[in-house]
Amino acid sequence: MNQQTIIETTNVTKIFDSSGLTVRAVDEVSLRVKAGEFVGLVGPSGSGKTTMLAMLATLLRESDGTMMIDGQDLGAMGERQRTKFRREKIGFTFQANNLVPYLTALENVELMLRLNKKNGRKSRERARELLTRLGLGDRLNNLPAQLSGGQQQRVAIARALIHNPSVVLADEPTASLDTERANQVVGIFADLIHEEQRAGIMVTHDLRMCKYVDKVVQMVDGKIARVITERTDIELLAGTSEFDRLDKPAPAKQKDPISWEAPPLRMPIPVYGGAD
Ligand code: ADP
Ligand code: MG
C-alpha cells in the first residue's frame, strides 16, 4: 500500500519584490512528502529553503503554483483559515526559536495546546514525555534564559510536535548543537516522525544529518537541483565532505541590502497567531 501523500506542491514559485529588485526565491518547485517520510532539504545559502518552509507553514503565500497539505489547498484559504490550519496541522521550528521568554520549557510546549484549546492533564503528560525524550526531563520548569541554545532548540522541537501536526518543518534545528547532541536530537526527531507518521522536512547545512532522512532534496537558485532517494546514496552523502561543495555560499546573484541570515525571515509575529 502506498502511504498517504501529505504535502504536494506543484510548480510553486515565490517572487519577492523589494525596492525595485525582483528575486525568484523559489522557482517552480514540485515536491511530495508522504506520511511518515522525513525529507532533508539542503542547498547553498540563498537557494530558497527557508522561503519554501515558510510557504508550507502558511506564513508566506506563494506567488504561483499550488500547495496542498492533507488534501487542502493552502492558496484557497483566507487568513483566518490559514491561522487555524497552521495551529492544528503544522509544527515548525525556525532558526530563531521564538520561545516565549517568560514561560517555562513545559509551558512553552503546552502553549501550542492551549492555542488549540487542547490543554488538559493528558496533554501536560505528553508535553512532559516529549521533553523528557529530548533530554530535558530535569529542565521542565526552567525559563528559556536558563537554558543553553541547544536546550532551547530542543524545547522548540517539542513544541513543533506536541499538537500532533500532520506536517513538521525544521529550519536548521542543529545550528546551535554540538555534533553529539545534533545526532541525538535529529535521531529522536526522525524516530518521532516515523512513529507518529508525520510528514517531516528539515533544512540542514550539516550533510551528516542526512543519514536520518528518507529523501534528500537539494535546492539551487530556487529550483530543485537533485533528489536523492537511494539509501546508499544518502549514506554516501552523509558520510562525505561534499558538505563543503553544497554549502558554499551562492554567488551573489543580486544585491540584497538586508542580511537574511538572522533573523532568517520576515515573518508575522507571533508566528502561530494570537488568540481569536
Ligand atoms: P535559504 O534559506 O536557502 O538560505 P531563503 O529562502 O532565505 O534562502 O532566500 C532565498 C532568496 O530570497 C534569497 O535571495 C533571499 O535574499 C531572498 N529573500 C528571502 N526572504 C525575502 C524577503 N522577505 N524579501 C526579499 N527577499 C527575500
Ligand atoms: Mg534559510
pLDDT in tens, the chain (276 residues): 467 999 999 999 999 998 889 999 999 999 999 999 999 999 999 999 999 999 999 999 999 999 999 999 999 999 999 999 999 999 998 877 789 999 999 999 998 888 887 778 888 999 999 999 999 999 999 999 999 888 898 999 999 999 999 999 999 988 878 888 899 889 999 999 999 999 999 999 999 999 999 999 999 999 999 999 999 999 999 985 444 444 445 444 433 333 333 333 444 444 454 444
Q: What is the distance between the alpha carbons of residues 137 and 62, in angstroms, rounded to a whole number?
A: 39
Q: What is the Å distance from ligand 2's center to 218 Cα?
A: 13
Q: Does domain 5-247 have CATH number 3.40.50.300?
A: yes
Question: What whole-number distance in Å separates Cα of residue 92 and Cα of residue 159?
Answer: 8
Q: Tell me, what DSSP letter sits at residue 251?
A: P
Cβ of 18 closer than 6 Å to ligand 1, yes or no, is: yes
In ligand 1, the atom with minimum distance to the C-alpha of 222 is: 10
Measured by CA distance, the residue closest to atom 15 of ligand 1 is 46
- Predicted confidence at residue 270, as pLDDT, reads 44
Buried b (16+ CB within 10 A) or exposed e, 219-257: bbbbbbeeebeeeeebeebbeeeebeebeeeeeeeeeee
Q: Which residues, including other chains, have CB under 8 Å from residue 105's CB and lie 6 or more apart?
A: 131, 136, 139, 140, 141, 142, 143, 144, 147, 151, 155, 158
Phi–psi pair at 59, nearest 5 degrees = -90, -25
Q: Tens of pLDDT along 39-91? A: 999 999 999 999 999 999 999 999 999 999 999 999 999 999 999 999 999 99
Say what the alpha-carbon torsion angle 160, 69, 46, 218 is, to the nearest 10 degrees: 100
CA of 260 to the centre of ligand 1 (A): 6
Domain-wise residue ranges, the chain: 5-247
Residue nearest to atom 12 of ligand 1 (CA): 25
- Torsion angles phi and psi, residue 269, rounded to 5: -120, 135
Question: What residues are neighbours of ligand 2 (ion), with CB under 5 Å?
Answer: 50, 264
Q: How far is the CA of 74 from the centre of ligand 1 (A)?
A: 21
**Alpha carbon nearest to ligand 1 atom 6, residue:** 48
Q: Measure 52 CA to ligand 2 centroid, in angstroms.
A: 9
What pLDDT is stored for residue 262 in this prediction?
A: 33
Q: Is the CB of 246 under 6 A from ligand 1?
A: no
Percentage, residues of the chain above pLDDT 70: 86
SS3 93: strand
Q: Could you tell me if the CB of 46 is within 6 A of ligand 1?
A: yes
Classify 274 in phi/psi space as left (phi over 0), alpha (psi -120 to 50) or beta. Answer: beta
Report whether residue 218 contacts ligand 1, using a CB cutoff of 6 Å: no
Q: What angle do CA 264, 270, 275 make, to 5 degrees?
A: 160
CA of 171 to the centre of ligand 2 (A): 7
- Cell for 112? 501550542
pLDDT of residue 258: 32
Q: Which three cell numbers stand for residue 87?
A: 495551529
Distance (angstroms) between ligand 2 centre and the Cα of 132 equals: 29
Cβ-Cβ contacts under 8 Å for 100 (sequence gap 6 or more): 107, 108, 111, 144
How far is 214 from 202, CA to CA, in rounded Å?
11
Please say whether the beta carbons of 51 and 25 come within 8 A.
Answer: yes
